[in-house]
Structure 1
Amino acid sequence: MTRRARRARAARIAHRLAGVATAASLGALPGLAMHRTSAQAKEAPLAMHCAEFAGAVLSPELIALPTAGAQIESAAMIGATAPGNQQGGEYCRITGRIKALNATTPDIRFDLNLPRRWNGRALQIGGGGYNGVVVSGTGVMPFSPDRAPLAQGYATFGDDSGHVGDSSLAVFGLVDEAVTNFGYAHLKKTHDVALALIERAYGSLPQRMYFAGGSTGGREGYTVMQRFPDDYDGVIANSPALNFSGVRLIGVKLGQAEYGKPGGFVPPALLERVYQRTLAVCDKLDGVADGIVSDVAACRAHEAEIIDSLRCAAPESTYAPSHASSPASSHAASYTSSYTSPRGECLTDAQLATLFVMRDGLSLPYRLAWGVKGYRGYNVFQGTHLTGTLGLAHEPRRLPAPTFRANGYLFAQGDGYLRYFVARDADFDSLAFDPQRPGRYRAQLVALSRTIGSMNPDLSRYISHGGKLITVQGLADEVISPNQTIAYYEALVARFGADQVNGFMRLYMVPGFQHGNGVFIPSVDLLGALDNWVTRGAAPETLIATDIAAETNGRSRPLCRYPGFPRYIGKGNVNLASSFACAEP
């Protein structure tokens, strides 16, 4: 999009939002001092009119998607020295809710923060899991070493996606409008309300509009590029749950392998053995033993060797991976899995079969939205640690309502998805469901994959107006498969060509990084890199990340553009990025 076209788009948005700032819409915002003109509002100190937002009502016409309008609940200046304010300056904090069309649908609660010293930019921040908690927008961005965006002068905002509850609760899946809000609508509704208030507070719209989020927030980042491409100039979308239905269905398959088949449960001690064996074989493949499997491709070449060294001697049976296994039989209602292995030092075929389900991914004989036919598998034998809270099950008995630690994150989330989003039956038994043959639930699965998923590869409109994208994900991620993210990137290259993709996207796959944890947790200023790219045309290349993992805090590594990875150059301090160079697999 040309500069002239961008100005015209901003003018159209300003015209649509003018009802917030002019006397022509006295009924729209009764709580504001409507005698001020936009020019006067821009000149006036923010503190003089922050409190006047309290109680204001925004009309539905200001929001592009259908709502019953928005209500501002509170507005107050937060002083630079106020308790809890670590942002380094004053800001106006506004809280409110966007009303649903249906009275039984929860409102979308949102927070907006307006710094006294505004840099002319705005940042919308995504959520996590099933959301349900308002994103405050006041803190430091995850894995960022610098000051919070608010402290840098960004107007920041976030929401709860339209329901209340912690990130593990999927009960809102019973409500159609809440599902649509969670899938995509909350993003646009909150965006439009925030921009209306920003324009009213400062007298102008943001010069740049960014989005940042990880996991569900990463999916939301891809969602805004796909559905609302003209609204954003840049996106940071990390560890994105792009194929939302796919990751939930593979979670169900994992639960069936662990609890629906005899001996399928893999105790944490054996999961630890798998991890340590992988390190013993693969850690040094990048030139140094540093506790990180960096050369995943080379490690994969040793996978058969690793598996053979872990397998219990059982000549009477051999496991062959299959993508079309049958659902758990109904007699497995006890939800208990027995397991035995000699001295607990090796894995039985049943236990390996569980790990192979995660490694091989999910293949479907039908298509989800955008032609998706399954979910890519994980790097199970390439340095992924599966004993943490977000890993596989810790208990051999399935709880009636599975929890992350007891029954595994992927299964617990998949179980809730089936109960409330798909079957819409709280008593539905996910162990008796066959993702390959969903029967009467197939149409619902396909519809949900379009409402919530972000697998549409058509980013042409976002690319055409100069939008930029940075994605970071761990190669050892145990929640969102790194191979699914890579597959989407490769689909973009197939569609647009490498040169065009390189012109708008950067993908960094991080060795040793899991889902917010791991043996290497990168800290890097992604927002600064994005802003430099958007405003100055300085495309990021190799970045330097500082490790913030507790045991290795302070060491550094290069973040290499995919498909590169950091390889030790053979000399120098192994804790310094300068001792590594980006290498191709």
Structure 2
Amino acid sequence: MVLLAGALPVHGAERATASAPVATGGSTAVPRCAALAGTRIPASAMSLPTTGGRVVSASVMTSVVSGETVEHCRVDAELFPVDASAPAIGMRLDLPHGWNRKALMFGGGGYNGTVPDLTQNVPFGPADRPAPLARRYAVFAGDSGHRQNPAAPPSLDGSFGLNDEALHNFAAGDAVKKTRDAALFLIRHAYGTRPAEVYFAGGSTGGREALVAAQRWPTAFDGVISAYPAWNNLSEVLDLGYLTQVLSRPGTFPGPQKQGLLYDSVIDACDGLDGAEDGIVSNPRGCRFDPAALRCPSGADTGPTCLSDPQIGAVRAMSSPFRWPYRIASGETGYPGFPFLSGADMRTPFLGFGTTAPASPMPVTSGYGMQYWDQWVKYFLTRDPRHDPLDVDPRRPGKWLARISHLSTVQDRNDTDLGPFARAGGKLILLHGAADELVSHRSTNDYYQRVRDLLGPRATRTFLRYYLVPGANHANFGTPAFAAGTDSLSALERWVEEDRPPARTVVTDMAHHRTRPLCEYPGWPRYRGGDPDSAASFTCTS
């Protein structure tokens, strides 16, 4: 990576702290696992404030990864806070035998609180290519600075927000850099050398973490995969709060059968616009559907075959931009709404809606976003676990406006100046499903456009590719219409290590054994004839 004109290429250089010791005996492809047990991690190994850390355990084990048995050293460690009342950051590394001299950090999801599975593939990863650990990457991740309450739904415990250091570790991405620095210290200690390349891959909250890493610490990672990123987290939360209020009104919530009716109607109206009737809306910008077409007689709720007037209003609220009539410190003014094109098989409920209306206390069967709002109100905004989330109106927040504005500076990671990352040689692959009903792809469109407006189209294309995947939903949740899988990691490796940009990229529907071209945004795949299950039968058009 070129940092300055005339400078030598630097790949993992900042990526390993100068204070990290070199293990005796030189470098090795087999980690010195026993030597890691009890290792102290000095605070000087991390660029952000901590009080150091320590390895809790280190042991050799085997895992089956992508069908292959991988021997590796599993290391669990803790990073200690500055505030004695804040929780420690929990982290884990898997250090393989036969190390490929590369490292990869995984991002989290939701409110985090657990260390991600290190045997997983990257977001929207392919079924026919090995996960990073099977490729002999040193892989690592953290819990972002808090441990989830085991009694809470996965990734939906926001109680850590009562502590400022924990809040910044999570929302501002501080834990990403602390974990990365500590991991590289331990990798060097284990193998006797630093990684040649360091990558990051994450989706949703992890997608935001990926963008934060590229923007705040432009030389920390050589390449980044960011999928369906919740980059403007505070702005999305305000929209989710508004929708929570709308859907909690009597008679407004459309149950699973009505959700299925709506989804089927949208597909019927828009499926063939790309030339192929395949259950996928390939050009969501060209899809026009008015939910009033499903109106029950006289607007009353007469059963599952139609929508009442309040339900039509709720659908319009979900799919329309939400604007607030006040200023917040991040400068954001709204959230673009959610296209009602979820790729989920409608014999199961929408992730965004859930199966029951939001209420207080918040049901675990309500939509994920409504539960997220509930935790945010209680622990981030009011810091009162007993506060009714329906009592806060995002349109008229009253006494909570100042706190909302402050939180926007922490949660809205909206600085799109990726110029330093680009000048350092960093590469970014950005992915989003066009049928994502939990993090709107329209928001990622906006982020990408802001980068282009700031840096210019030509400069942006030297380091960034953005792909919008038709039919794909949030993290391939449930049984999506298009279960996206693409080998973004190999593409990123070639771009970073060989200066070969992604070209003729293909995405596979892992559930239906079909392929499509992965079109650079704003392109989308149009059918031109031939086998409708083959990417070769489609061409990217704008």
Q: In 1, Cα distance between the equivalents of 2:66 and 2:265? A: 46
1:265 aligns with 2:253: yes
TM-score w.r.t. length of structure 1: 0.85
Q: Cα–Cα, structure 1 residues 399 and 143, in superposed 2: closer, same or farther, change >3 Å?
A: same
Residues 222-261 of structure 1 deviation map (CA, whole Å, 9 limit, x = unaligned): 01011111211110000001111122111111111111x3
TM-superposition CA deviations, 1:45-70 (whole Å, max 9, x none) = 635x3111101111111111111111
Q: CA deviation at 1:382?
A: 8.6
- Which residue identity lines up with residue 406 of structure 2 in the other structure? A
Which of residues 226, 230, 239 in structure 2 aligns to 1:250?
239
Cα pair distance change 1:140/1:415, threshold 3 Å: same
Cross-structure match for 2:187:
198
2:94 corresponds in structure 1 to 113
Describe the SS at the equivalent of 1:188: helix
Alpha-carbon spacing, 1:397–1:12, altered in 2? closer, same or farther (3 Å): closer
Report the count of equivalent residues.
Answer: 528
Counterpart for residue 533 of structure 1:
495
| 4 and 415 in structure 1: CA distance in 2 versus 1, 3 angstrom threshold | same
RMSD: 2.3
Check the 8 A contact 1:542/1:561 in 2, yes or no: no
Give the 3-state SS of the residue equivalent to 2:516 in structure 1.
strand
Q: Which residues of 2 match residues 484-495 of structure 1 at below 5 A?
A: 484-495=443-454
**Equivalent position of 2:74 in the other structure:** 93
Helix, strand or coil at the partner of 2:460: helix
Greater Cα offset, 3-12 or 182-191: 3-12
Provide closer, same or farther for how the CA distance between residues 399 and 439 of structure 1 changes in structure 2, counting only shifts above 3 A: closer
Alpha-carbon displacement from aligned partner over 1:435-485 (angstroms, at most 9, x marks no partner): 122223222222222223321111121111121111111111010001011
Counterpart CA distance in 2 for 1:578 and 1:137 is 34
2:151 corresponds to which residue? none
Give 2:388's aligned amino acid.
Answer: D
Question: Which residue of the partner structure matches residue 271 of structure 2?
Answer: 283
- Residue 102 (str. 1) matches residue 64 (str. 2): no
In structure 1, the residue matched to 2:119 is: 138
Q: Any conservation in 2 of the 1:87–1:148 contact (CA below 8 Å)? A: no
Question: Which residue type is aligned with residue 443 of structure 1?
Answer: A
Q: Report what 2:510 is aligned to.
A: 548
**Distance (whole Å) between structure 2 residues aligned to residue 343 and residue 150 of structure 1:** 51
Q: 1:519 to 1:5 in 2, by over 3 A?
A: same
Q: How far apart are residue 7 of structure 1 and its match? A: 5.1
- Does 1:390 find its partner at 2:351? yes
Structure 1 or 2, whichever has the larger Rg, is 1
Read off the aligned partner of 2:41 and give its amino acid letter.
L
How far apart, CA to CA, are the structure 1 residues paired with 2:402 and 2:55? Answer: 39
Distance 1:134 1:453 in 2: 23
Which runs of 5 or more structure 2 residues have no equivalent in the other structure? 149-153
Residue type of the partner of 1:241?
A: A
- Which of 324, 329, 336 matches 1:376? 336
2:485 maps to which of 523, 529, 536: 523
Bigger relative contact order, structure 1 or 2 (CA pairs below 8 A, ≥6 apart):
2
Distance 1:122 1:411 in 2: 36
Q: Which runs of 5+ in 1 are unaligned?
A: 22-35, 316-339
**Map of 1:315-326 to 2, 5 A cutoff?**
none
Q: Does 1:577 align with 2:513?
A: no
Please report how far the alpha carbon of residue 132 of structure 1 lies from its aligned counterpart in structure 2 after TM superposition: 0.8
> Which residue number corresponds to residue 144 of structure 2?
161
Indicate the larger mover: 210-219 or 495-504.
495-504
Q: Which amino acid aligns with 1:186?
A: A
Q: Secondary structure at the match of 2:402?
A: helix
Over 3 Å counting, the alpha-carbon distance change for 1:564 and 1:85 in structure 2 is: closer
Give the 3 Å change call, closer, same or farther, for CA 495–289 of structure 1 in structure 2.
Answer: same
- For the 8 Å contact 2:61–2:71, the answer to whether it is kept is yes
TM-fit CA distance, 1:344? 3.2
Query: What SS class does the counterpart of residue 371 from structure 1 fall into?
Result: coil
Aligned-partner SS, 2:91: strand
**Deviation digits for residues 499-549 of structure 1, max 9, x if unmatched?**
111111111111111102320011111100011111111111341111123
- Which letter maps to 2:465? R
Q: Which of 301, 306, 324 pairs up with 1:346? A: 306
Amino acid at match of 1:148: A
Q: Report the alpha carbon displacement of residue 381 of structure 1 after superposing the two structures with TM.
A: 6.1
Structure-1 separation of matches of 2:133 and 2:344: 35
Matched, 1:73 2:56: yes
SS of the counterpart of 1:5?
Answer: coil
Return the alpha-carbon distance in structure 2 between the equivalents of residues 202 and 4 of structure 1.
30
Distance 1:383 1:131, change over 3 A: closer
How big is the shift at 1:582? 1.2
Letter paired with 2:182: V
**Is 1:400 equivalent to 2:389 in the alignment?**
no
Name the stretch that deviates more: 472-481 or 140-149. 140-149
* TM-score between both structures, scaled by the size of structure 2: 0.92
Aligned to 1:56: 39
Q: In structure 2, how many angstroms separate the alpha carbons of the residues matched to 1:485 and 1:522?
A: 17
In the alignment, is the contact (CA less than 8 A) between 1:246 and 1:362 conserved in 2?
Answer: no
Q: Given the superposition, is the C-alpha separation of residues 308 and 542 from structure 1 closer, same or farther in structure 2, using an over 3 Å criterion?
A: farther
Provide closer, same or farther for how the CA distance between residues 88 and 63 of structure 1 changes in structure 2, counting only shifts above 3 A.
same
Mapped contact 2:341–2:437 kept (Cα < 8 A): no
